[in-house]
């Protein structure tokens, strides 16, 4: 490893100069997405930059939060593709396996993740909304297997996944959180079927998973039966705050796309356009500063409830303004529906980026949920009444 942070920055910057893929947007169509993502992940694993958040016994692991920040800053600065396909594998699955699984389970699956095994998350269900404890997918134990039936939804890239982090209900007695069990499911098992969800911008980032009498060995259970709620909390807490920082830095780097749009028109002297660009650049810088401060608090163990919500809320709103300005500047050509790339904020297609920006007002906790956290748990305001509904005329 490098001796100082600046050594690390120089090291990765040099490596990226030689290895960063420059044509990833062209390869991010449905046909080329999986291959290009796996190839880039394999390069990062070999170089030791794919899992800096893993413990030190793993290749490239054992980095401090400050070192991880440098790596993600440089990946964003070099405009490399985000590791969308392996995100659940390297964060949610890895954290679950390291913190809650048996030694045998961790020893079996973690090396496979580094070799490119793709995982998805089977938590959300139709009708449950953001209430994780409201899941209804049922698992009944029969000898050495759990027989699982139900449906999951909004599972990111489940159509490409080899394995699934599956939360099921094994009991309906007691508190809703008490009857949940956590399983590791092979996506090729009989009874598992996946249907991609076609999104408004033409993307298929999410999928539904249908489970019909799927037999999952009891040996694939993580933790005790009925203890799935606690395991799920370890899964959901695994991103460690770096994602918001990386996304914010990528948005700042993508300001060059707006500048290029202006440079290609007769608006280079348009005061209104330049004023709007300046205001947006200031706003993007402010989001980056918020993300930096949040990460600094985390590094100094001073993070408080609501800090992450402030960054998430500011990022989602700023991203929409960024994409909206791109659509405006690009005129009619920017509204053409080009062959869609997979997700992300900086796809090269302004209209797709604009429509995708709305997803960030829901993903990772909706704006409404973030505002409630800030109001109730950060500012100490009264809690939202349970069961409250908007009356006619209000």
**CA 306 – CA 373 distance, rounded (Å):** 6
- Which helix (H) or strand (E) segment holds residue 196: the answer is strand 192-197
Catalytic-residue membership of 239: yes
Taking a C-beta distance cutoff of 8 angstroms, is the pair 350, 330 a contact? yes
Q: Alpha-carbon distance 75 to 12, whole Å? A: 8
From 117, 239, 303, 324, the catalytic residue: 239
Q: For residue 333, how many C-alpha atoms fall within 13 Å in the half-sphere facing its CB?
A: 6
Please, what is the angle between helix 271-299 and helix 255-263, to 10°? 170
Distance CA 381, CA 60 (A): 44
- Closest residue by Cα to residue 170 from 190, 200, 194, 142: 142
- Residue among 380, 176, 159, 207 nearest 167 (CA): 176
Distance from C-alpha of 256 to C-alpha of 177, rounded to nearest angstrom = 47
Cβ-based neighbours of 243, under 8 Å, separated by 6 or more: none
Under DSSP, the state recorded for 133 is: G
80 within 8 A of 13, measured Cβ to Cβ: no
Please state at what angle helix 242-253 crosses helix 271-299, rounded to 10 degrees.
160
251 contacts 319 by C-beta, under 8 angstroms: yes
Helices (H) and strands (E) in the chain, counts: 13, 8
Which regions of the chain does DSSP assign to beta strands (E)?
119-122, 138-142, 145-156, 163-169, 180-186, 192-197, 206-217, 221-222
Q: Are 51 and 114 in contact (CB under 8 A)?
A: yes
Name the residues annotated as catalytic.
239
């Amino acid at each position: 490893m490098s001796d100082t942070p600046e050594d690390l920055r120089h090291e990765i910057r040099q490596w990226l100069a030689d290895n960063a893929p420059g044509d990833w947007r062209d390869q991010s169509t449905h046909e080329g997405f999986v291959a290009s993502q796996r190839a880039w992940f394999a390069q990062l694993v070999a170089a030791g930059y794919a899992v800096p958040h893993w413990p030190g016994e793993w290749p490239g692991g054992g980095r401090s939060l400050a070192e991880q920040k440098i790596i993600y800053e440089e990946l964003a600065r070099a405009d490399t593709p985000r590791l969308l396909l392996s995100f659940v594998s390297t964060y949610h699955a890895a954290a679950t396996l390291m913190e809650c699984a048996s030694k045998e389970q961790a020893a079996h699956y973690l090396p496979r993740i580094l070799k490119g095994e793709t995982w998805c998350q089977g938590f959300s269900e139709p009708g449950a909304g953001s209430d994780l404890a409201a899941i209804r997918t049922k698992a009944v134990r029969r000898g050495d297997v759990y027989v699982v039936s139900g449906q999951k939804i909004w599972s990111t890239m489940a159509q490409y996944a080899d394995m699934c982090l599956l939360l099921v209900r094994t009991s309906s007695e007691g508190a809703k959180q008490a009857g949940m069990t956590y399983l590791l499911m092979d996506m090729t098992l009989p009874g598992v079927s996946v249907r991609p969800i076609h999104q408004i911008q033409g993307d298929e980032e999410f999928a539904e998973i249908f489970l019909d009498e799927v037999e999952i060995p009891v040996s694939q259970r993580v933790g005790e039966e009925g203890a799935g709620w606690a395991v799920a909390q370890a899964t959901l807490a695994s991103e460690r705050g770096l994602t918001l920082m990386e996304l914010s830095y990528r948005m700042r780097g993508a300001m060059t796309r707006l500048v290029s749009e202006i440079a290609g028109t007769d608006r280079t002297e348009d005061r209104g356009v330049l004023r709007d660009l300046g205001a947006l650049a200031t706003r993007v810088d402010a989001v980056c500063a918020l993300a930096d401060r949040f990460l600094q608090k985390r590094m100094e163990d001073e993070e408080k409830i609501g800090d992450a919500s402030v960054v998430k809320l500011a990022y989602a709103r700023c991203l929409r303004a960024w994409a909206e300005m791109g659509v405006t500047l690009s005129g009619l050509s920017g509204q053409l529906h080009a062959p869609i790339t997979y997700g992300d904020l900086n796809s090269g297609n302004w209209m797709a980026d604009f429509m995708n920006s709305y997803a960030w007002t829901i993903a990772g906790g909706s704006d409404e949920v973030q505002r409630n956290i800030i109001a109730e748990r950060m500012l100490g305001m009264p809690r939202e009444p349970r069961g409250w509904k908007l009356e006619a005329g209000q």
